[in-house]
């Protein structure tokens, strides 16, 4: 891996490189995505089935678009029983973590007779998109569906592309069953996003769409935002390791590659105050890449977006980490908890040498659907709040309103909204 001194100039260069991977920069695909969305919106199943035949080489019909109970049973039969049990234990951890996020409606009653509050209600129907083929990740099914189920969403559907034989990845089906999906439809790409956003004869319209996908899926989600809610526009995966001289170089190298293997656009960055650690990590990375299965992908990822940044001190290192606002941030310092208190921007933080990033991906319980491309500066991981909506409650007695009505009238009149003022004033006419 390249080792560069961390300066103001190199920090800006790294940030610019990382931002090039944002879905917002792939505008050349927007017209094609817009055409797909418009066609499905107007023609429903007819367009959806035609796109599935064109891109997935499978002829959908109203009879075969929905995954059957028999297909789910077949999926279980194809899975190793031990892996199914692992997925169930992972689901239990995810459920337990997200149950702690639940909030209840609340009301505040005052002596003057006024009542203020917040009514919390689950979203009515959520659609989860799940990629197919080599990008099928059952762990993401659990991470999308379980928080929605914990939030109380009554209807959760899922779309995922079929293979040319009409089959769906068995791991995806088993994970969906464990998580509690209500219906699974064989549809992928921008056309599946359109189907969930607008509704077709076979797929009902949803209120919110979550889940990762390729650039077409990302741009489709961006385009339908407003017709429905979405979780976020996901970019390529990222890891940043913040380390001092106490870190184990073999662990650091292994963790960097855990994200570099995702795809050629993934980024893997080490920021360290130790030149010796930097050199050792670089050598360990080369050794691992030569032996691991996704060598070509990792090499391209590291060539394009892999860095070892050598900082003069930990203050500079932490400042750079906050600027980058990585999806995953591992802290491998002498006192990781103390370092963590100075971190402002990160999707998920992993503390200590036994808290490797894949622990969060698969098992610990916190959600692995995280903000990317620096959006951790203002976005949060997927959580229960994403699947609930809040409604304000306001109730004033005559006594409570009488004490403040002149203030409200004055405020309204200052904005030129005399009907607003009148709405209050008529209640206190002689």
Active site residues: 327-328
Residue 354, classed as helix, strand or coil, is coil
Q: What is the DSSP string of 313-334?
A: SHHHHHHHHHHHT-SEEEEESS
Instruction: Cite the beta strand spans of 319-385 per DSSP E.
Output: 328-332, 348-351
Phi-psi region of 109 (alpha: psi -120 to 50; beta: other; left: phi over 0): beta
Residue 211, classed as helix, strand or coil, is coil
Contact 131, 160 (CB under 8 A): yes
DSSP 8-state assignment for residue 67 = P
CA distance 366 to 428: 53
Instruction: Cite the beta strand spans of 386-427 per DSSP E.
Output: 388-395
CA distance 269 to 106: 44
Nearest to 306 by CA among 18, 9, 19, 20: 18
Lookup result for tokens 């977006």 = 305
């Amino acid at each position: 891996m390249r080792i560069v001194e961390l300066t103001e100039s190199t920090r800006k260069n790294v940030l610019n490189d990382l931002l090039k991977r944002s879905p917002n920069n792939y505008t050349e695909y927007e017209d094609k995505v817009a055409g797909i969305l418009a066609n499905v919106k107007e023609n429903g199943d007819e367009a959806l089935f035609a796109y599935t035949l064109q891109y997935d080489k499978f002829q959908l019909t109203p009879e075969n678009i929905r995954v059957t109970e028999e297909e789910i049973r077949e999926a279980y039969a194809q899975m190793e029983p031990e892996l199914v049990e692992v997925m169930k234990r992972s689901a239990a951890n995810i459920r337990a973590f997200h149950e702690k996020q639940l909030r209840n409606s609340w009301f505040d009653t005052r002596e003057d007779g006024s009542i203020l509050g917040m009514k919390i209600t689950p979203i009515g129907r959520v659609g989860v998109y799940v990629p197919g083929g080599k990008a099928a990740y059952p762990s993401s099914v659990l991470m999308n569906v379980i928080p929605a189920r914990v939030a109380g969403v009554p209807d959760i559907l899922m779309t995922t592309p079929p293979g040319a034989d009409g089959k769906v990845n068995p791991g995806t089906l088993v994970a969906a069953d464990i998580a509690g999906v209500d219906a699974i439809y064989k549809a992928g790409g921008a056309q599946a996003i359109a189907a969930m956003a607008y509704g077709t004869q076979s797929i009902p319209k949803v209120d919110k769409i979550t889940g990762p996908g390729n650039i077409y899926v990302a741009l489709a989600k961006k385009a339908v935002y407003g017709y429905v809610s979405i979780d976020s526009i996901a970019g390529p995966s990222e890891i940043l390791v913040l380390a001092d001289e106490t870190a184990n170089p073999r662990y650091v190298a292994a963790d960097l590659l855990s994200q570099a293997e995702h795809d050629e656009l993934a980024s893997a960055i080490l920021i360290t105050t130790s030149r010796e650690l930097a050199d050792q990590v670089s050598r360990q990375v080369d050794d691992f890449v030569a032996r691991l299965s996704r060598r070509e992908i990792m090499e391209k990822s590291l060539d394009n977006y892999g860095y070892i940044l050598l900082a003069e001190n930990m203050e500079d290192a932490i400042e750079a980490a906050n600027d980058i606002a990585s999806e995953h941030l591992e802290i491998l310092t002498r006192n990781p908890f103390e370092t963590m208190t100075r971190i402002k921007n990160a999707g998920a933080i992993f503390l200590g040498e036994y808290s490797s990033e894949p622990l969060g991906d698969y098992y610990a319980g916190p959600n692995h659907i995280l903000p990317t491309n620096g959006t951790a500066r203002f976005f949060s991981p997927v959580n229960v709040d994403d699947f609930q909506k809040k409604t304000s409650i306001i109730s004033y007695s005559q006594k409570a309103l009488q004490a403040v009505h002149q203030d409200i009238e004055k405020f309204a009149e200052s904005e030129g909204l005399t009907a607003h003022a009148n709405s209050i004033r008529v209640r206190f006419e002689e």
